Amino acid sequence: MNKCEGQKMSANPLLMGHPLSSTEHARHALLYMCRIRKFEEAVEDLFGRGMMHGTMHLSIGQEASPTGMCMALTIQDQITSTHRGHGHCIAKGADLTRMIAELLGKEIGYCGGRGGSMHIADVETGNLGANGVVGGGIPIAAGAALASKMMKKGTVAVSFFGDGAMNEGAFHEAANLAAIWKLPMILFCENNKYGMSSSTEKAFAIDNLADRGKGYGIPGVNVNGNDVVEVYEAAQIAVDRAKKGEGPTLIIAETYRWKGHSRSDKNLYRTKEEIEEWRLLDPIPKFIARAIKQKKLTQEQCDGIQQEATDAIVAAVNEAVKAKAADPAGLLDAVFKKVSA
Amino acid sequence: MLTMAEAVREAMSIAFDERPEVFLLGEDVGIYGGAFGVSGDMYHRYGSERVLDTPIAELGIVGAAVGAALSGMRPIVEIQFSDFTAQAMDQIANQAAKIHFMLGGALHVPMVLRTPQGSGTGAAAQHSQNLEPWFASVPGLKVVVPSNPADAKGLLLAAIDDPNPVIFLEHKLLYKIPGRDPVPEGSERIPLGVAKVVREGKDLTIVATGIMVNKSYEVCEKLAAEGISVTLIDPRTLSPLDMQPVYESVEKTGRLMVVQEGPAHAGFINEVIAQMAGSSSFGSLIAPIKRLAGMNIPIPYAPQLEKAAVPQIEDIEAAAREIVKNWR
Establish whether the linkage from the previous residue to B240 is cis, with ω within 30° of 0: yes
Residue in B182, B179, B185 with CA at minimum distance from that of residue B157: B185
Distance of CA B84 to the CA centre of its chain: 16
Q: Is residue B112 helix, strand or coil? A: strand
Contact status, residue A78 vs residue A127, Cβ threshold 8 Å: yes
**Closest approach of chain B CAs to the CA of A338, in angstroms?**
7
Determine, for residues A157 and B68 on separate chains, whether the beta-carbon distance falls below 8 Å. no
Chain A hits for B21, Cβ within 8 Å: 1, 151
pLDDT score at A7: 35
**Closest approach of chain A CAs to the CA of B39, in angstroms?**
20
At A173-208, the pLDDT tens digits run 999 999 999 999 999 999 999 999 999 999 999 999
Range list of H helices, chain B: 4-18, 42-46, 58-70, 89, 99-102, 132-136, 149-161, 211-225, 244-253, 269-277, 303-309, 313-326
Chain A hits for B90, Cβ within 8 Å: 133, 136, 170
Q: Is residue B230 helix, strand or coil? A: strand
Chain A hits for B104, Cβ within 8 Å: 102, 109-112, 114-115, 121
A316, pLDDT greater than 70: yes
Residue in A257, A290, A243, A264 with CA at minimum distance from that of residue A25: A290
Separation of alpha carbons A12 and A96, rounded Å? 10
pLDDT score at B159: 98
Distance of CA B259 to the CA centre of its chain: 13
Diameter of chain A measured on Cα atoms: 63
Tabulate helix, strand, coil % of chain B (nearest 5): 40, 20, 40
pLDDT score at A4: 36
Diameter of chain B measured on Cα atoms: 61
Determine, for residues A123 and B102 on separate chains, whether the beta-carbon distance falls below 8 Å. no
How many residues in chain A?
Answer: 341
Q: Kindly give, in sequence order, each residue whose CB lies less than 8 Å from that of residue B304, ignoring residues fewer than 6 positions away.
A: none
pLDDT score at B328: 86
Which DSSP string do the residues of A258-281 spell out, in sequence order?
SS-SSTT---TTS-HHHHHHHHTT
Separation of alpha carbons A28 and B25, rounded Å? 41
Q: Kindly give, in sequence order, each residue whose CB lies less than 8 Å from that of residue A209, ignoring residues fewer than 6 positions away.
A: A163, A166, A189, A191, A200, A220, A252
Active site residue: B78, B127, B171, B306, which one? Answer: B127
Determine, for residues B100 and A337 on separate chains, whether the beta-carbon distance falls below 8 Å. yes
Q: Which helix (H) or strand (E) holds A36?
A: helix A23-48
For chain A, domains (ranges, CATH) are 38-320 (3.40.50.970)
pLDDT score at A5: 36
**Bridge partners of residue B292, in order along the sequence:** B259
Low-confidence stretches of chain B (pLDDT < 70) are none
pLDDT score at A36: 98
pLDDT score at A341: 61
Determine, for residues A140 and B105 on separate chains, whether the beta-carbon distance falls below 8 Å. no
Q: Least CA distance to A115: which residue of chain B?
A: B102
Instruction: Please indicate if any CB of chain B lies within 8 Å of the CB of A138.
Output: yes
Separation of alpha carbons A137 and B12, rounded Å? 28
For chain B, domains (ranges, CATH) are 4-174 (3.40.50.970), 196-326 (3.40.50.920)
**Bridge partners of residue A180, in order along the sequence:** none
Which of A:257-286 have CB within 8 Å of B?
A: none
Q: Is B127 a known active-site residue?
A: yes
Chain B hits for A119, Cβ within 8 Å: 102-103
In which region does residue A50 sit, left (phi positive, over 0), alpha (psi from -120 to 50) or beta (all else)?
left
Determine, for residues A143 and B71 on separate chains, whether the beta-carbon distance falls below 8 Å. yes
Determine, for residues B67 and A157 on separate chains, whether the beta-carbon distance falls below 8 Å. yes
At A68-121, the pLDDT tens digits run 999 999 999 999 999 999 999 999 999 999 999 999 999 999 999 999 999 999
**Interface probe, candidates A81, A333, A335, chain B, greatest B C-beta count within 10 A:** A335
Q: Kindly give, in sequence order, each residue whose CB lies less than 8 Å from that of residue A77, ignoring residues fewer than 6 positions away.
A: A126, A155, A156, A157, A158, A239
Distance of CA B29 to the CA centre of its chain: 20
Q: Least CA distance to B19: which residue of chain A?
A: A1
- The beta-carbon neighbor of B105 closest among A170, A174, A334 is A334
Chain A hits for B49, Cβ within 8 Å: 150
- The beta-carbon neighbor of A111 closest among B70, B73, B103 is B103
Q: Is B317 a known active-site residue?
A: no
At B213-255, the pLDDT tens digits run 999 999 999 999 999 999 999 999 999 999 999 999 999 999 9
A9, pLDDT greater than 90: no
pLDDT score at A3: 36
ipTM of the complex: 0.96
State the pLDDT confidence band at A339, using cuts at 50, 70 and 90.
confident
Phi and psi at residue B162, in whole multiples of 5°?
A: -65, 135
pLDDT score at A57: 95
Chain B hits for A141, Cβ within 8 Å: 67
Determine, for residues A177 and B66 on separate chains, whether the beta-carbon distance falls below 8 Å. no
Q: Kindly give, in sequence order, each residue whose CB lies less than 8 Å from that of residue A247, ignoring residues fewer than 6 positions away.
A: A178, A179, A182, A183, A184, A185, A218, A241
